[in-house]
A and B are shown apart, each in its own frame.
Chain A
Amino acid sequence: DGGITQSPKYLFRKEGQNVTLSCEQNLNHDAMYWYRQDPGQGLRLIYYSQIVNDFQKGDIAEGYSVSREKKESFPLTVTSAQKNPTAFYLCASSSRDRGSSNTEAFFGQGTRLTVV
C-alpha cells in the first residue's frame, strides 16, 4: 500500500544532542514538507522540498536541517541550536501536478519529540 511513514513515533533527546527524524514515502510525490505542531497551535512549516536535491526554508527553519538525496526520503535533523524542540513533528508529501485534482497533502503519523 502506498503511504508516508515517519519514525520513530516517540523520541527523547538530551540537551545539546542532534536527532534525526525519518520520513519515507512511496507515493511517487515530488514535494515533501516538514511541519511542527505545538499544543493548541496550527502547523508551522519548517522546510520543504519540491524536487530531489533541492529544499527551501519554511517559516521556522532555524535550528533544523534537511536533505533530499532521494525522492522517497526527506529526513529532518533537529540540532542543538533549536532552543525549544519539544513538539509534534509531521512530515507530508504531495503531488505537484497542478493540472490534477489530487494535490492534497498526505501525512505521516508524526514523531513526538521530547527534550529531557
Chain B
Amino acid sequence: RKEVEQDPGPFNVPEGATVAFNCTYSNSASQSFFWYRQDCRKEPKLLMSVYSSGNEDGRFTAQLNRASQYISLLIRDSKLSDSATYLCVVISSGGSYIPTFGRGTSLIVHP
C-alpha cells in the first residue's frame, strides 16, 4: 500500500460547483499535513496547511481525520482558475521528517 493515496481524477465540474478531494495516509505517526497546488509544467505551491481542528481559507476548507487517517480539501464556488492538480503531502514524525506526496488529483473547472 502506498504511503499517501489520492484519486487521480480528473474531476470535471462546472463553475460555481463545490468539489471535495480526499487523501489517505498509511503511517499513523504522521504529524504534518498540507495541500499543494500544481499547475501544468510548474512547481507545486503550498495551498494550505491542514490543522487538527480543520481550517478554512476563503473558498477552501481542509479537514483532518486522524482516526480514519485521511485529509480532505473542499473547494466551494469553483472558478476556472482553480483548474490544476492538487497534491496531498504528509510528513511523518519518524526521524527522517520527509514530505511524502500523493500522486495528485486533477481538477478541471469548465464554464
Contacts and interface: CB of A to CB of B under 8 A. Distances in A.
Interface string B49-83: 10000000000000000000000000000000000
A50 B97 contact: yes
A85 interface: no
A94 B99 contact: yes
A98 B87 contact: no
A33 interface: yes
A110 B43 contact: yes
B93 A42 contact: no
Given A42-B87, A92-B99, A98 B42 contact: no
B110 to A, nearest CB: 20
Interface stretch (A12-20, A67-75, A100-108): A100-108
B103 A41 contact: yes
A107 B45 contact: yes
A107 B47 CA distance: 13
B107 interface: no
A66 interface: no
Contacts of B89: 104-105
A113 interface: no
A56 B96 contact: yes
Contact of A103 (B32, B42, B44, B103): B32
Interface in A70-95: 88, 90, 92, 94
Contact of A33 (B43, B99, B102): B99
A29 B93 CA distance: 18
* A-B complex: 8 closest residue pairs judged by Cβ atoms: A42-B103, A107-B43, A43-B101, A105-B99, A110-B43, A42-B101, A104-B46, A103-B32
9 contacts: A40-B8, A42-B101, A42-B103, A43-B87, A92-B99, A104-B34, A104-B99, A107-B45, A109-B43
Interface of B: 8, 31-32, 34, 41-46, 49, 87, 89, 91, 93, 96-104
